[in-house]
Amino acid sequence: MNDSDRSARRAFLGLGSNLGDRRRLLIEAVQALPDVVGVSSVYETDPVGGPPQGPYLNIVVEVRSDRTARDLLERSLELEAAAGRTRRVRWGPRSLDVDVLWVDGEEVDEPDLRVPHPRMLERAFVMVPLAELAERWKPAAETLDASGVRCLGPLFEQDA
């Protein structure tokens, strides 16, 4: 094990899209993320909050990295910008949304970043795919109403 392996820790990012070619946008974001070690199945989900809008495709990605939550947020914002995301309406439709959900051993409570994500335990569209990648989150996922969360299978065709 080298020094970089010792400092690597698990982190989970939630990705969603409900504008444009939703699957393509998720694939491109995953391919542009550093240190990916796992990708959940794709779930089509009903929107939560905000104005009337179409359904989302959601996934959770696991990375193993020495990057901080702040570093992951910066990369997430870059990915959103590259996908053409504009922030006009809170909880409105978006080409790409990337949230830092959890980083092993790190808690952040700042105006623009809270880790663990403050609403993840309430959202089946986060917890169901997260539970695929991390056994520790299965009990929390099982307590949620997941009726609006529909599994569409793997993100990448070769995973099928």
List 22, 67, 75, 97, catalytic entry: 97
Question: For residues 16 and 54, what is the distance between their CA atoms, to the nearest angstrom?
Answer: 12
List 3, 99, 119, 136, catalytic entry: 99
Annotated active-site residue 97? The verdict is: yes
Which residue pairs from 71-75 have beta carbons closer than 8 angstroms and sit at least 24 positions apart in sequence?
72/11, 72/13, 72/100, 72/103, 73/100, 73/112, 73/113, 75/33, 75/34
Annotated active-site residue 94? The verdict is: yes
Straight-line distance from the first to the last Cα atom of the chain, in angstroms, rounded to the nearest whole number: 32
List 22, 75, 94, 123, catalytic entry: 94
Pick from 21, 32, 40: which is nearest to 101 by CA?
40
Contact 20, 79 (CB under 8 A): no
Annotated active-site residue 85? The verdict is: yes
Question: For residues 99 and 143, what is the distance between their CA atoms, to the nearest angstrom?
Answer: 22
The catalytic site residues sit at 85, 94, 97, 99
